[in-house]
Structure 1
């Protein structure tokens, strides 16, 4: 399965996970509103609820989040992965009819599953565009409404402003409009206060408290809080719990401003304020009938009095002591929501590790990839299997080291320099315990010889070469805390590359698009030459073998990576290729040469068919 398809499945899984998290968060916050009002009236409760849902979504979407999960992975069918790693592992052939039926069923299943995941991604993007458009349209509606009004500049132009307990800041623009709206504050970056002309008919005391309510929103930075809630809701537009939490965030903010405005006021003033809320509700048209005159319904403004919230607000006005605040409430909220996030992530299954093996997988399962690309055009000719998964390049990195060595002058020709083996050098292979030159180094994949070349290049220039090559993840730091990047970074360590990235690198090599000398290209091509195939294609290539690394840092004794990468040329046409296999280890047989032999059996016919 291509990594793009795998990520689409992960996106679908993350969407389902955030829906589950939303259900739990909503149940928790709804219970708080019913039984712990001192928690529910905290505006942070509802914004943190939204953040918990989107954090769950991102944690599942990002790579390796499955390390925290407690449920088993979702196993994808073998037929959705690449073909088996090597032909010598193949079982006895099944009858042709049975194989056809199985193949058709697997293909149909994969097609439908892939189509479903892709359809959801397309639907999400369309929904995101639509939701974003609605937010922008609402913003334009508010701006249009403000444009029809009169800006109040001089003192004495409005009684509610003149007698407000706290004068409005100079940066606030106040606009009076002739529309049946409630006073409202809007503008994420440039706040503006809209005052309806009918507000002048209210008692002076009511005008003062209503204006003070809007100014309190400004002082409490409620616009910024609400803006964050709208952004989160827009990103997860498909999650109904995001809207419920955002609505309750607005509810908590309205109650908070009412509480601040009415603090220490006598009952008569509290009663007058409640009467003003009811009067304002009667003056406003139904939002479904008059959306243009009810911009508060867009959630981009504060001040809209709705039937859903007015009862709760009047209840608070009558019983102000029913919703005390305290630091324990905020701590309890954060702890509860953090628990929801951790639990929802831990119990969210992930796609099977064998669909995306990593260096920390305890028991990696087999997978394979074949990638072939036309060197001239870059057209992808074959892309079969998990070709975008980065793993150690092993000895295939010797192609890059050869280019560096000849370009820097450390390597001179096919047999120079010739270096003697010394005690202490890596000697895993008996063929390495001899004097070695560039030709035998490439043929035998002699690790210590490559290490001598990179040591002479030096860490700074080595990193510069890797960067200019665009080689994999560019990480040549080596094992953590061991400062061995020059010697070990490409051997089951920090440097990783995918099969697709291998072909991209080799295409630059054969097209001579890297900042290297012609001598470096010529000698590397000479060292990697493997002869001519029966159908006339001239072959160049390099094998690589390495063990996956387990979570405890040890080599996996049961599995091995096998690489064979290179290019083939005939009649002016060049095809670069990369074959990667993660297979079971076999005694006395390295994975790299096995991968090469299996690949070459089919390569001539495959090249002729391209």
Structure 2
């Protein structure tokens, strides 16, 4: 799966979490509205929007899955066409697939990957549409302002006769259009007044103007801008629109309360009458402005009732603290209960595909060119599976990755002393499949070059009983070190295309035990094994300790398959206090360029920094 697929899936998961958080926030605010005065609290509605956005964004951040309490969702691969080579992701697939084979990554993408990418595209289109609507609303307001007449002498308008001197008046423009008095402009506030406002009673004009100036004094333009921005970013979430509308409602109620504070009942009735009259005269309002008539027919009766008999503000700080705690609880729950995604290939679905030249091998047959591919990563501390792609429960020979276990055995038993002792000379009759093995070897060069005969010297000195006990204590794979049937070679060759087998998931479990030091071994065994493990530091700061492994596929008649090899790369990556164990396995076509394990390592390390940054 490509990085774009992973991003799209994470974005889809964040969108679902955002909808769930929106539902929770709306339920909480609906409960708060049952208490008098809460509807007029701007902070309640804006914080509700911010909570939903935070629940959306935090899922997109690296390492957010470490806070989740639920297990990952394993998503089965259900694509129609099966690849002609082992499944892989990103650069791994490109490195492992022959040139004459169709693109593995493309053929392995499931309906969910396509759906996630479609949703990401739909979101971007919707965001562009929402921004376009805002730009259009801005043009309408600026067009009205340009078409109107600027009032330079405010005392010539009855609405400003009682305006408080402490409030600096914005630029006032009178417009001959059926609009509501409205305030707009974050940086250069402007007040649009319809010409028909002059037909209202002087007291009504003054209260309407005071209403708009109160918006300016309270900073409602900025609150409105923040609400619109949050709604635009999450345009697909209906709860964001509801919360933003209630924020506007709270702003209008707050200004009504401030304007009418201390006024007699007669002025309250006149104010309500002006609101009704304005609603009948205006055609529509613009949501990017604070309009006196920003009320619908469905909410008109409720607003007039509150004007005539205002509700009391919530008493004491406990109410606000309780609502804030509720929002924090919703945010924490949306993160903790948000499952991560893990990807696996559905073996049953693959087996059901029509037979082709590539799929004629039985699924799971060691000689099948499509039988096996796995990439698995897990958090070393918690064991949480972070990546699970392919058939990761299939057992195969561990090959030279078993040298990690042999090293632990050798240092724990005292057979190995330090990084360079014992240093053993090569002797005729030793395994010499690679030219580099025909040389004196010490522990460091043994692990670096995967020298089979050096590992055989260690296991031979252990003896069969002790060797078997170590393998059992390590819970390593199938524990079978009997070797090839009738050849009595378990002590020296059981881990090389023979009886001992291990799956990638079992590799992760073993490596976690090594990283956490849970095995019954001495501290020196761990320290020295880590010191001789091949390691490197990635560009993003992660230090990787890993071991390759290459082994031939054994055919049913006992012969080595000359066309295919198992390639392993296993180990762990550490950065700060966090460690991630990994196992990468691929059934590769034999190539003259080198061992399968080396090619798998190179491809995996190209992909690893991006994977680690996404976890």
* Bin of the TM-score, shorter chain as denominator length: 0.5 to 0.7
Counting only pairs closer than 5 Å after superposition, residues 33-48 of structure 1 correspond to structure 2 as 33=33, 35-48=34-47
The alpha carbon displacement at 1:156 in A equals 1.9
Identify the match of residue 571 of structure 2 among 538, 543, 546.
546
Q: 1:158 to 1:493 in 2, by over 3 A?
A: closer
Counterpart CA distance in 2 for 1:118 and 1:243 is 25
Describe how 1:62-101 pairs up with structure 2 within 5 A.
Answer: 62-77=61-76, 83=86
Is the Cα–Cα contact under 8 Å of residues 183 and 195 in structure 1 kept in the other structure? yes
Where 2:156 maps in the other structure, the secondary structure is coil
Shift of 1:359: 4.8
Q: Which runs of structure 2 are paired with 1:43-58 in the superposition (5 Å)? A: 43-58=42-57
Structure 2 residue 272 is the aligned partner of structure 1 residue 250: no
Q: Which runs of 5+ in 1 are unaligned?
A: 86-102, 286-293, 370-384, 386-424, 434-438, 448-478, 480-486, 499-533, 536-542, 571-576, 584-591, 593-610
Over 3 Å counting, the alpha-carbon distance change for 1:280 and 1:364 in structure 2 is closer
* C-alpha deviation, 1:328, in angstroms: 2.6
Does 2:123 match 1:124?
Answer: yes
Aligned counterpart for 1:357 among listed residues 355, 377, 395? 377
The yes-or-no answer on 1:297 pairing with 2:322 is no
Deviation digits for residues 36-57 of structure 1 (CA, Å, limit 9, x no counterpart)? 1322321111111111111111
Are residue 579 (structure 1) and residue 600 (structure 2) matched?
yes
Judge conservation of contact 1:368–1:582 (CA < 8 Å) in 2.
no
- The verdict on how the C-alpha distance between 1:180 and 1:128 changes in structure 2, with shifts beyond 3 A counting, is same
Local SS of the residue matching 2:600? strand
Distance 1:305 1:270, change over 3 A: same
Indicate the SS of the match to 1:580.
helix
Conservation of the 8 A alpha-carbon contact between 1:258 and 1:313: no
Distance (Å, rounded) in 2 between the aligned partners of 1:272 and 1:133: 39
Task: Decide whether the 8 Å contact of 2:184 with 2:288 is kept in 1.
Answer: no
**1:141 counterpart residue number:** 140
Between stretches 328-337 and 543-552, larger displacement belongs to 543-552
Shift of 1:578: 5.4
- TM-aligned CA distance change 1:228 to 1:428, over 3 Å: farther
Q: Is this contact kept in 1: 2:183–2:290, CA < 8 A?
A: yes
The answer on 1:327 being equivalent to 2:347 is no
Partner of 1:504: none
How far apart in 2 are the matches of 1:182 and 1:554?
A: 61
Is the partner of 2:214 in helix, strand or coil? Answer: helix
Question: CA contact under 8 A between 1:362 and 1:550: conserved in structure 2?
Answer: no
Do the aligned partners of residues 443 and 328 (structure 1) sit closer, same or farther apart at CA in structure 2, a change above 3 Å counting?
same
Deviation sequence 1:142-194 (CA, Å, 0-9, x none): 11011111111124221211321345415x21111111111110112211100
Matched-pair contact (CA < 8 Å) for 1:561–1:582: no
Structure 1 residue 427 corresponds to structure 2 residue 416? no
Instruction: Please give the per-residue CA displacement for 1:364-411, whole angstroms capped at 9, x wherever unaligned.
Output: 588689xxxxxxxxxxxxxxx9xxxxxxxxxxxxxxxxxxxxxxxxxx
2:150 and 2:577 map into 1 onto residues whose CA distance is 69
Tell me if the contact between 1:41 and 1:255 (Cα under 8 Å) persists in the aligned partners: yes
TM-superposed deviation, 1:427:
2.4
SS in 2 for 1:297: coil
- Aligned partner of 2:112 in structure 1 is 113
Distance 1:41 1:220 in 2: 13
CA distance in 1, matches of 2:388, 2:422: 30
CA contact (8 A) 2:378 2:580 kept: no
Comparing 358-367 and 157-166, the one that deviates more: 358-367
SS at structure 2 position matched to 1:76: strand
Q: 2:331 aligns with which of 329, 336, 341?
A: 341
**TM-score scaled by length of structure 2:** 0.58
List per-residue Cα deviations over 1:538-558 (Å, max 9, x = no partner): xxxxx98633569987896xx
1:220-231 pair list within 5 angstroms: 220-231=218-229
Under a length normalisation based on structure 1, what TM-score does the superposition of the two structures give? Answer: 0.58
For the structure 1 residues 163 and 342, does the alpha-carbon distance in structure 2 shift closer, same or farther, using more than 3 Å as the test? same
Preserved CA contact (<8 Å) 2:77 2:343: no
- Give the whole-Å Cα distance in 2 for the aligned partners of 1:432 and 1:254: 87
Following the alignment from structure 1 to structure 2, what is the Cα–Cα distance between the partners of residues 263 and 78? 65
Q: CA RMSD in A?
A: 4.9
Separation in structure 2 between the aligned mates of residue 239 and residue 313 of structure 1, nearest angstrom: 26
> CA separation of 1:432/1:196 partners in 2, compared to 1, >3 Å: closer, same or farther?
farther
Q: Which of the numbers 198, 205, 213 marks the counterpart of 1:207?
A: 205
* TM-fit CA distance, 1:265: 1.1
Q: 1:51 to 1:548 in 2, by over 3 A?
A: same
**TM-fit CA distance, 1:28:** 1.4
Q: Distance in 1 between matches of 2:7 and 2:301?
A: 47
Counterpart in the other structure of 1:466: none
Q: Do the aligned partners of residues 193 and 331 (structure 1) sit closer, same or farther apart at CA in structure 2, a change above 3 Å counting?
A: same
Q: State the 1:124 CA deviation.
A: 0.7
Q: Whole-Å Cα distance in 2 between the matches of residues 430 and 157 of structure 1?
A: 102
User: Aligned pair 1:496/2:542, yes or no?
Assistant: yes
- 190, 193, 196: which is aligned to 1:195? 193
1:569 Cα deviation (Å)? 11
> Which residue of the partner structure matches residue 494 of structure 2?
none
Q: Structure 2 vs 1, CA of residues 132 and 550 (structure 1 numbering), >3 Å: closer, same or farther?
A: closer
Any conservation in 1 of the 2:11–2:60 contact (CA below 8 Å)? Answer: yes
Cα deviation, residue 107, structure 1? 8.9
